[in-house]
């Protein structure tokens, strides 16, 4: 009886234990299925995210290998099929070069080490807005963002986000360009209000004539290398004169268009062989200049309408009192501008002999040559402040322009600066480096002959090209203008002390008429 009772108890206990085991297995299987379902759902959601997101999302390990899981857009962004395991470093080297690859490797090593603060990651990132040669897509601007994946104190992987920002940057540049144009238009209006409308009209008329002549040259030039080069040299001088007058009148839009035309012409001159198709960009730059002149013309018409309606323009009466006064003011502003853009200090002293008046033709010539002389004086003559102080000179360089009658009734123009003077040694080196003259030819030339080479086309001692120097055109254009005017030119210089240009025009050019003056802003 006891044995049967014990067996009954044992069987009941085993049955209960078995039922409990079945219950535990059932609960475990259900939870396992629920977990699998959650994992499957998470995988599906992750897959949808990776398939839908426009950015490239992926992980890399410390060796720079791309993980098998990445966004669907990543292969298209990088221009190469991916299956996982590819080296990001090798992809970057193919698209951006070895230097960029080296920077990326160094950057990721720092991130994986955990030694860099998150706030500094963006500043150190070498892959922000980088231009890469993407296979099948050409040049694209991509930006890479890096986020370390932390597991405690260890960083086993790096999450990287890639975006193609090419269009965004283009739009940003276009927006900035539009803002610049708006500011330029406003500045143009304000500068034109300070000028004599008659002087502006004369400039626009002459600039249109120059543009028409260049256009005619382009249409009628003989298709030979020599004819092309002769035409380009003539264009360069004409456009350089136009640029100088535009900047003197503070018409920056026209001056900048002329500068871009010059740049294109100078690039063509360096070509070993010229053909007709090489000239195709020139009409486009000429069109830009003509559009700038059109805008100036429209503003002039409106200014004239305002004047006709009786609404006086600011300082209009003072501006037209004497063309030489207006010229002096414009030249003073030009010196200030060039000095500011070249990080120098310079001032202009402009003086005219009592009772002197010049005819319209000579005034036009002065407007052509004076800006070139001043540009040459500020860029090449006046030293930087530190150099002047070391030489015992005042920090501010001084340029003198004097117009006067000689005893034989000729008109004398003298432009003098207290700068470093003309160095025959430096000019010899520049001429030799340019290949214009051989060492033997230079050895046979005197210092004076060397110095006079500054009036030859293409001769310059400027170390870099800017809007104001570097082409060797300014004094060449001056020489051509003075030859046409039948004027005489003399150069005096002393190294380290001064340079002086003396120009004498025929007696018929100068006439007595107006009282002496000392215009506001220009020292007499």
Rounded mean pLDDT of 180-194? 69
Pairwise CA distance, residues 214 & 234, whole Å: 9
Pairwise CA distance, residues 14 & 12, whole Å: 5
Q: What is the pLDDT of residue 435?
A: 73
Residue 436 has pLDDT above 60, yes or no: yes
Choice between 3 and 515, residue whose per-residue pLDDT is larger: 3
DSSP for 306-338, written as a single string: HHHTT-PPTTHHHHTS-HHHHHHHHHHHHHHHH
Residue 163 has pLDDT above 60, yes or no: yes
Residue 246 has pLDDT above 80, yes or no: yes
* Start-to-end C-alpha separation, the chain: 141
Q: What would the pLDDT profile of 443-473 be if each residue is shown by its tens digit?
A: 888 888 888 888 877 676 665 556 555 555 6
Residue 421 has pLDDT above 50, yes or no: yes
Q: What is the pLDDT of residue 500?
A: 92
Q: What is the pLDDT of residue 416?
A: 92
296-300, 428-432, 481-485, 517-521: which is most confident: 481-485
The residues pairing with 398 across neighbouring beta strands, listed in sequence order, are: 347
Q: What is the pLDDT of residue 213?
A: 87
Pairwise CA distance, residues 203 & 322, whole Å: 17
Pairwise CA distance, residues 277 & 10, whole Å: 106
Residue 126 has pLDDT above 70, yes or no: yes
Choice between 94 and 516, residue whose per-residue pLDDT is larger: 94
Q: What is the pLDDT of residue 315?
A: 46
For the record, the structure tokens of 444 come out as 């046979």
Q: What is the pLDDT of residue 89?
A: 92
Q: Is residue 296 within 8 Å of residue 188, measured between CB atoms?
A: yes
Residue 430 has pLDDT above 60, yes or no: yes
> pLDDT band at residue 208, thresholds of 50, 70 and 90?
confident
Q: What is the pLDDT of residue 26?
A: 86
Q: What is the pLDDT of residue 387?
A: 87
> pLDDT band at residue 260, thresholds of 50, 70 and 90?
confident
Q: Is residue 378 within 8 Å of residue 468, measured between CB atoms?
A: yes
> Token match 């030009």: residue?
334
Residue 277 has pLDDT above 70, yes or no: yes
Pairwise CA distance, residues 442 & 444, whole Å: 5
Pairwise CA distance, residues 353 & 340, whole Å: 30
Residue 343 has pLDDT above 50, yes or no: yes
pLDDT above 70 as % of the chain: 83
Residue 335 has pLDDT above 80, yes or no: yes
Q: What would the pLDDT profile of 376-390 be if each residue is shown by its tens digit?
A: 889 888 999 888 888
Q: What is the pLDDT of residue 408?
A: 73
Pairwise CA distance, residues 177 & 171, whole Å: 10
> Token match 């009036």: residue?
455
HSE-CB for 336 with a 13 A CA cutoff: 11
> Token match 């870099």: residue?
464
Residue 333 has pLDDT above 70, yes or no: yes
Q: What is the pLDDT of residue 313?
A: 47
Handedness of CA 133, 137, 142, 145 (dihedral sign): negative
Q: What is the pLDDT of residue 454?
A: 82
Residue 44 has pLDDT above 70, yes or no: no
Residue 49 has pLDDT above 70, yes or no: no
Pairwise CA distance, residues 519 & 329, whole Å: 7
Q: What is the pLDDT of residue 316?
A: 42
- Give the mean pLDDT of the chain: 80
Nearest residue to 360 (alpha-carbon basis) of 386, 390, 327: 327
Rounded mean pLDDT of 121-148? 86
Helix (H) or strand (E) holding 427: helix 424-434
Rounded mean pLDDT of 295-313? 68
137-151, 263-277, 349-363: which is most confident: 137-151
Q: What is the pLDDT of residue 123?
A: 74
């Amino acid at each position: 009886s006891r044995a049967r009772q014990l067996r009954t108890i044992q069987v009941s206990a085993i049955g209960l234990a078995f039922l409990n085991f079945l219950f535990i297995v059932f609960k475990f299987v259900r939870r396992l299925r629920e977990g699998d379902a959650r994992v499957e759902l998470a995988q599906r959601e992750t897959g949808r995210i990776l398939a839908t997101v426009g950015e490239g999302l992926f992980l890399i390990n410390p060796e720079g290998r791309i993980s098998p899981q990445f966004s669907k857009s990543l292969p298209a962004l990088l221009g190469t099929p991916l299956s996982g395991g590819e080296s990001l470093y090798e992809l970057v080297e193919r698209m951006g070069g070895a230097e960029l690859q080296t920077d990326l490797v160094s950057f990721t090593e720092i991130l994986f080490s955990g030694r860099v603060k998150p706030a500094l990651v963006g500043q150190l990132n070498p892959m922000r807005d980088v231009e890469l040669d993407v296979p099948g897509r050409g040049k694209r601007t991509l930006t890479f963002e890096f986020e370390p994946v932390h597991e405690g104190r260890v960083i086993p992987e790096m999450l990287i986000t890639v975006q193609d920002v090419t269009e965004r940057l283009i739009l940003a540049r276009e927006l900035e360009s539009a803002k610049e144009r708006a500011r330029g238009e406003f500045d143009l209006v304000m500068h034109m209000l300070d000028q004599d409308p008659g002087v502006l009209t004369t400039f626009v008329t002459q600039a249109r004539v120059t543009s028409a002549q260049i256009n005619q040259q382009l249409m009628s030039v003989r298709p030979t290398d020599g004819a092309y080069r002769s035409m380009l040299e003539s264009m360069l001088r004409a456009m350089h004169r136009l640029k100088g007058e535009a900047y003197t009148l503070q018409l920056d839009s026209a001056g900048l268009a002329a500068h871009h035309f010059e740049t294109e012409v100078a690039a063509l001159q360096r070509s070993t062989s010229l053909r007709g198709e090489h000239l195709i960009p020139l009409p486009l730059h000429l069109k830009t200049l003509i559009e700038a002149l059109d805008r100036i013309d429209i503003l002039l018409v409106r200014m004239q309408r305002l004047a006709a309606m009786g609404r006086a323009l600011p300082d209009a009466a003072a501006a037209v009192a004497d063309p030489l006064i207006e010229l002096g003011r414009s030249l003073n502003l030009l010196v200030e501008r060039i000095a500011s853009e070249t990080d120098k200090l310079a001032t202009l002293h402009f003086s005219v002999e009592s009772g002197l008046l010049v005819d319209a033709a000579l005034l036009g010539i002065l407007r052509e040559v004076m800006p070139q002389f001043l540009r040459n004086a500020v860029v090449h003559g006046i030293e930087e402040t530190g150099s002047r102080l070391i030489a015992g000179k005042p920090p501010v360089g001084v340029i003198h322009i004097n117009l006067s009658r000689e005893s034989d009734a000729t008109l004398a123009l003298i432009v003098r600066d207290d700068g470093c003077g003309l160095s025959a040694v430096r000019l010899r080196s520049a001429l030799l480096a340019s290949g214009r003259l051989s060492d033997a030819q230079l050895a046979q030339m005197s210092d004076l002959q060397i110095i006079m080479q500054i009036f030859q086309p293409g001769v310059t001692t400027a170390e870099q090209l800017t809007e104001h120097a570097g082409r060797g055109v300014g004094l060449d254009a001056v020489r051509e203008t003075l030859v046409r005017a039948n004027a005489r030119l003399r150069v005096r210089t002393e190294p380290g002390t001064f340079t002086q240009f003396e120009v004498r025009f025929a007696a018929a050019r100068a006439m007595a008429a107006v009282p002496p003056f000392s215009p506001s802003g220009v020292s007499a």
